[in-house]
Amino acid sequence: MTPRKRYAIPLPGRAPLELGGCTLVMGIVNVTPDSFADGGRRFDPERAVADGLQMIADGAHILDVGGESTRPGADPVPADEELRRVLPVVQALAQDGRVPISIDTSKAVVAREAIARGATIVNDVSGLQYDGDLAAAVAAAGVAIVLMHTRGRSRDMYREAVYDDVAGEIGREIEAAIGRATSAGIPRDRVIVDPGLGFAKRAEHTWDALAGLDRLAALDRPILVGPSRKSFLLSATGDRQPPGRDWGTAAAVTASVLGGAHIVRVHAIREMADVVRVADRLRAAAIRH
């Protein structure tokens, strides 16, 4: 096991995001009525803000606010509805100021309005494939971007789940996404990459992606991994409702840290913050020996 490379991701209006020392925990704030993981409990903006503030108290280093479910089979949400859901939450959490706020969207208009209210990271599950204006919006604002690997859209992505070399193909397709970003004027040093566990990947592909995570280091960009409560875990644990998948998530988070992740995106912050601390210590011990 080799040390993770360290990165400092520039963020407008605040200190750079320092990555590669301790693993950072990104808290998921879904402002949707149909979230698979929390049953839509944060659809009320006041509840979403209160839960986000509690996540910070529990150890979250970043909050990721989203207003459109991206689970396989999900229906698209119009931009005006997505804006209505996320903007009050982004603004309130950004005003708190303790951690950077990420907007989980693939729409340029949503990204622009969220950035205007304090978001400093755009988390794009499409890898700049859905909205041709998003890259320019990110470049103009000087914010960071997470480029996730996927194929197709939520309603048909499993048709694209055909691989000969999962980790290798993910790496090549993310490199193409980085090319789309830099061609639009986004500096490479503002890019974070995500292998997209569960997106256009059946369970066996997701396990291969997680096992091959270290191969993404060749991209020379920090890595974000989001295993939290996802259905691939059920192939190991048996049937569990999303809140009952946290033990499986803990194992996947540990594997992510040991595989080189710089950030893990999770729901249960207090518990996963402890998992990350233990995994970081194990990783440090392995490097020493």
Q: What is the CATH number of the domain that holds 95?
A: 3.20.20.20
State pLDDT tens for residues 120-148. Answer: 999 999 999 999 999 999 999 999 999 99
Is the residue at 2 inside a domain?
A: no
The residue segments making up the domain with residue 68 are 7-288
Instruction: Give the chain's mean pLDDT.
Output: 95
* Predicted structure pTM score: 0.95
State pLDDT tens for residues 216-244. Answer: 999 999 999 999 999 999 999 999 999 99
Is the residue at 202 inside a domain?
A: yes
Task: Say whether pLDDT at 42 is over 70.
Answer: no
Strand partners, 124: 147
Is residue 39 classed exposed, middle or buried when 0-12, 13-18 and 19+ CB atoms within 10 A define those classes?
Answer: middle
pLDDT of residue 119: 98
Confidence band, pLDDT 50/70/90 cuts, at residue 41: low
| Sequence-distant (≥ 6) Cβ neighbours of residue 52 within 8 angstroms | 27, 29, 63, 65, 89, 92, 93
Confidence band, pLDDT 50/70/90 cuts, at residue 2: confident
Q: Do 51 and 132 contact (CB within 8 A), yes or no?
A: no
pLDDT of residue 158: 87
Beta strands in the chain (DSSP E): 7-11, 14-19, 24-30, 62-66, 101-104, 121-124, 144-148, 191-194, 224-225, 263-266
Task: Say whether pLDDT at 67 is over 70.
Answer: yes
Is the residue at 12 inside a domain?
A: yes
From CA 234, how far away is CA 63, in angstroms rounded?
26
Please say whether the dihedral angle defined by the alpha carbons of residues 112, 113, 118 and 121, taken in this order, is positive or negative.
Answer: negative
Task: Say whether pLDDT at 40 is over 70.
Answer: no
State pLDDT tens for residues 150-181. Answer: 999 877 888 999 999 999 999 999 999 999 99
Is the residue at 1 inside a domain?
A: no
From CA 266, how far away is CA 51, in angstroms rounded?
13
State pLDDT tens for residues 17-34. Answer: 999 999 999 999 999 886
Task: Say whether pLDDT at 38 is over 60.
Answer: no
Q: Do 51 and 43 contact (CB within 8 A), yes or no?
A: no
Is the residue at 97 inside a domain?
A: yes
Token pair 């209160």 in the structure block, residue: 50
| The amino acid at 68 | E
> Domain count of the chain?
1
State pLDDT tens for residues 177-196. Answer: 999 999 999 999 999 999 99
Q: Active-site residues: which are they?
A: 230, 265
Is the residue at 266 inside a domain?
A: yes
pLDDT of residue 69: 83
